[in-house]
Amino acid sequence: MKCVVGMSGGVDSSTTAALMKERGFEVIGCTLKMFESEKSQTAVENAQKVAEHLKIDHEVADCVADFKKYVEDYFVESYENGITPNPCVMCNQFVKFKYLDKFRKKYNADILATGHYVQIKKTEGRVELFQAEELRKDQSYFLYAVDREILKVAEFPLGAFSKTQTRELARQFKICVAEQPESQDICFLSNDDYVSFIKRRSSRTYAEGDIVDVFGNVLGKHSGTINYTIGQRKGLGLSGGPFFVYGVDAKQNRAIVSDKNGVKTEKIFLKDVKFLNEEFLGECEVKIRSANKKNPAKIAKTEGGKYRVELRGPEYGVAQEQHCVFYDGNKLLGGGVIAGTE
């Protein structure tokens, strides 16, 4: 049987390729070139070295145009409009898995595999995703919107391992990137400096403006609205407080702040809701950020057929256009894009 493995040049995807070969698959490594940079070229070269070491075929797929359209442009436009984006969800939904699946079909491979820390089960035409054994590394939050038909042919062999175990496996396989440090959260940024990236890519300028409270009283000056996200507390430069970013008004060039109660949310309204299998309404748990703990909640529908999440415990700093993901225990049910809060 053939298996296409998405190889980013890191320890996780390299170990995945080695594990799939050890399981008896004819492995074909595929590295997605998503942007032009020295870091991207190094990743390609590392993946090629690993493929050569494992004696597997390897190919580089150019997806720069789609990555720019669905991830980078979306990222810049979101901040320009005062919205906090989640590029990893977008990449998995519109770029990464779609390209890997095209590659799988090209080589008539049976499955595709990646180094994501998530567990998958398939029974009688159903596909279910579960959180990884090591919750600290769990990436199920970022995969809720991936096409279900692609998930039917996907495997995630690292879901049962901790990061420590993965590194030990990489050493056993004598993989050259076994000691490579953890990658940063957003792959296309340099040193996580998203502000400099936006300024390079945008035609706009970001002038100073007012920081105001929810009543419109001017409390201070901001250094450009792209520097602020909902719920942010640090870096406001205000006396008194504590203050939290309540909203970003890009058109009026204002950052709006409040006390902690001002960014408290008990209801979340969603759009673009996707369920992994059948629709789910009722009691569950939700995450509004990948690093957050799950919060007990109830999923319901409004009279207009929109989805509403009623939180059993309040969340703080819930941002529009982020993602609210549903769980039953450690099983992923689905999720949606945050359209508003109450």
Kindly list the strands in the beta sheet with 218-222, ordered across the sheet, starting from the edge strand earlier in the chain: 218-222, 209-213, 254-258, 244-249
Best CA proximity match to 112, nearest among 29, 24, 206: 29
Q: Report which secondary-structure segment, H or E, holds 337.
A: strand 331-341
CB 245 within 8 A of CB 229: yes
Q: Report which secondary-structure segment, H or E, holds 221.
A: strand 218-222
Q: 122 forms bridges with which residues in the sheet?
A: 127
Q: Give residues with Cβ within 8 angstroms of 92, minimum separation 6.
A: 142, 143, 145, 146
Q: 120 forms bridges with which residues in the sheet?
A: 129
Pairing between β-strand 209-213 and β-strand 254-258 as defined by DSSP bridges: parallel
Instruction: Work out the number of other CB atoms within 10 angstroms of the CB of residue 132.
Output: 22
Does the annotation mark 30 as catalytic?
Answer: no
> From the candidates 30, 88, 187, 284, which is the catalytic residue?
187
Phi, psi of 216 (to 5 degrees): 90, 5
What distance separates the 2 farthest-apart alpha carbons in the chain? 67
Angle value at C-alpha 84, between 81 and 87, nearest 5 degrees:
110
> From the candidates 3, 30, 91, 324, which is the catalytic residue?
91
* Active site amino acids: 91, 187
